[in-house]
Amino acid sequence: MSQTDRDTTDFGFREVPRGQKASLVREVFDSVAPKYDLMNDLMSLGVHRIWKRIFVNAIGCSPRETLLDLAGGTGDIAFGAIARGAGHVILTDVNAEMLEVGRKRALDRGIVPGSHGGIEFAVVDAEHIPLPDRSVDKVSIAFGLRNCTDKDAVLREARRVLRLGGRFHCLEFSKFEIAALSQLYEAWNFRVLPEIGARVAGDRGSYEYLAESIAKFPDQPTLASMMERAGLERVAYRNLSGGIVAIHTGWRL
C-alpha cells in the first residue's frame, strides 16, 4: 500500500489521521523555531554544520542557476549556497515561524531578499509546490523530508519543477551502520535529546517527536527506490558519519 492509499500516517511512533500530521508538525516547529539553531548545535555536537557544508558543496550551484530549497527552515542551506555562488535561491518552508527566523538571519548577513538574484522567501508546502514545470535548476531538502506527510508527493513535485538536466539533493537522517555503536546512538536520540529539549528549549515533547521521526524514516536503499519511482534517474546516495545521515541525489533527464 502506498502512502497516499493509507488513511493514517506516522507522527513519530504514533499513527495519526493523514490530515492531521501537517498541523502537528507545524506546532512542533512553531515551538522549536526560536531555539532551533542552538538546539541543532547541541543535538549534533556541532557536526550538523559539517554535514551541511558537505551538502552545499554537493549541490554546487553556479551564478546562472536557481536553487529551490524545500523545508529550508532558518536558512542554513540557502545561505551556504549563496556564499558558494548560487545566482538565485528560493528559500521555502511550510512553517512561517521558521522562515521569519531565516529572514532575520539573512538581514544579519547582509543578504537582501528579492525575486531577481539573491534570496527569495516563500511559505510553501513541499507536497504542492506553486512553481511551473521545469522552472528551477536544483532542488534541495535538508532534514525536512521526514516531516512531510506524503514523501512520494514531495519527490514527484521536486522532479516536476526541475529543468531537464536538473538535480535533486536530499540530506536526511538515515540508518546508522556501525553496529557496535548503535545502542549508544539510540540512547543519545531517545534519552539525551529530549532532555536537552526540556532544559534548553522548554519542550521535551517536540524533541521526542524529532527522535522518533528519525527512527521511522526510510533507510538509504528504500529512499533511493522511492526517488526512482518518482521518476528521478541516476539515483545515488552517500553516507556521512557512518550513516547517521545520508545525501541522496537524482537527476531529471
Average pLDDT over residues 193-199: 87
- pLDDT tens column, 169-189: 999 999 999 988 889 999 998
- The answer to whether 135 touches 107, Cβ cutoff 8 Å, is no
User: For residues 106 and 78, what is the distance between their CA atoms, to the nearest angstrom?
Assistant: 10
Judge contact between 74 and 158, C-beta under 8 A: no
Cell of 219: 533507510
Regarding predicted confidence, which is higher, 95 or 112?
A: 95
Q: Measured between alpha carbons, how far is 191 from 118 in angstroms, rounded to an integer? A: 41
To the nearest whole number, what is the mean pLDDT of the chain?
91
Mean pLDDT throughout 141-158? 96
For 152, the enclosing helix (H) or strand (E) is helix 151-161
Q: Enumerate the domain spans of the chain.
A: 3-251
What tens digit of pLDDT does each residue of 42-93 get?
878 899 999 999 999 999 989 999 999 999 999 999 999 999 999 899 999 9
Instruction: Give the C-alpha separation, 93 to 116, whole Å.
Output: 19
Q: Which helix (H) or strand (E) holds 196?
A: helix 193-196
pTM: 0.90
Question: Which CATH class name applies to 3-251?
Answer: alpha beta
100 contacts: CB under 8 Å, gap ≥ 6:
33
Question: Rounded to an integer, what distance in angstroms lies between the CA atom of residue 125 and that of residue 187?
Answer: 33
Q: Which letter does DSSP use for residue 249 in this model?
A: E
> How many CB atoms are closer than 10 A to CB 186?
14
* Rounded Cα gap, residues 204 and 31, in angstroms: 11
Q: Are 214 and 143 in contact (CB under 8 A)?
A: no
